[in-house]
Chain A
């Protein structure tokens, strides 16, 4: 009887340890997020070669939306801003000779924002600031 309890206890412990590992991977690497889907909703291509102007438009758009700009780096092409527990990182990188790729990823409290509408609204505001049409990334 005692041996049976010990075996059951061992299996439960192993199960909990395995569950702990999965939780750690999920937490650190966001392994449950569908990368391609996330990339698609978080990314737009803009028809401009002017990366710095795009970064300035990102800063102006985030300010208009009531965000506080925490960091801005022209070399890396990164802007980080926050508003009431919502944090946004926007990167602007060149694509070919006449386009830039704008990627935004948001985090609210302790979770990544996966709602496509949230990103659509951000890009709609950015489009207005840039007088450009954002294209869904191929």
Chain B
């Protein structure tokens, strides 16, 4: 017996939604248009032949930034780290003030819905931040080292991680490389 077209519609819609969730693997393995720009943003070159020393400086820098070191493979020039942080920028004092204002709005009766907005402002927004540092020798004589740093962020809602995304904010990378340059210069002066 043929199913009525209208009865089939929700099933078809469900199937379409399921298939539409993930991009095909071939598309995900295609070089993105902004590939070079991303690489430039994430990479700096340093005048040194000592890759191991640079990797150790990077590891110390990650610790300075509060990262836990999860993985390190010096033979391949790889260091991976991660940390949990609160994306809510309000200080504890500001949160108490916002909480008091929310109570006031709640007591006002018709202003209660506005209190809900404020409650959202004082809630912690946990995020997992991960970092990958990749070094390699470049140049004909291998006397320069390319350092690539990639940051990734994953938001958590109700204790469950959301989709991770690569941080594209240029100022984050600029500051990270500035700090690395300073640490390398300081080390060169001390040695």
- Give chain A's interface residues, CB within 8 Å of chain B: 52, 55-56, 59-60, 63-66, 68-74, 83-86, 106, 108-109, 113, 115, 117-119, 121-122, 125
B30 & A121 in contact (Cβ 8 Å cutoff):
yes
Does residue B14 face the partner (Cβ distance < 8 Å to A)? no
Q: Mark B145-169, 1 if CB is under 8 A from A, else 0.
A: 0001010100000000001101000
Does residue B170 face the partner (Cβ distance < 8 Å to A)? no
Choose one: B25, B75, B134, B164; the contact of A60 (CB below 8 Å): B134
Main secondary structure of the interface of A (DSSP, over half): mixed
B29 & A63 in contact (Cβ 8 Å cutoff):
no
For B73, list chain A residues within 8 Å (CB).
Answer: 72-74
- Tell me the bound Cα distance from A72 to B135 in angstroms: 13
Main secondary structure of the interface of B (DSSP, over half): mixed
Q: Which residue of B lies closest to A116 (CB)?
A: B26
- Give chain B's interface residues, CB within 8 Å of chain A: 22-26, 28-32, 35, 38-39, 42, 71, 73, 75-78, 80, 130, 132, 134, 136, 148, 150, 152, 163-164, 166
Q: Which residue of A lies closest to B35 (CB)?
A: A64
B78 & A72 in contact (Cβ 8 Å cutoff):
yes
For A56, list chain B residues within 8 Å (CB).
Answer: 76-77, 134, 136
A115 & B75 in contact (Cβ 8 Å cutoff):
no
For B28, list chain A residues within 8 Å (CB).
Answer: 65-66, 83-84, 86, 118
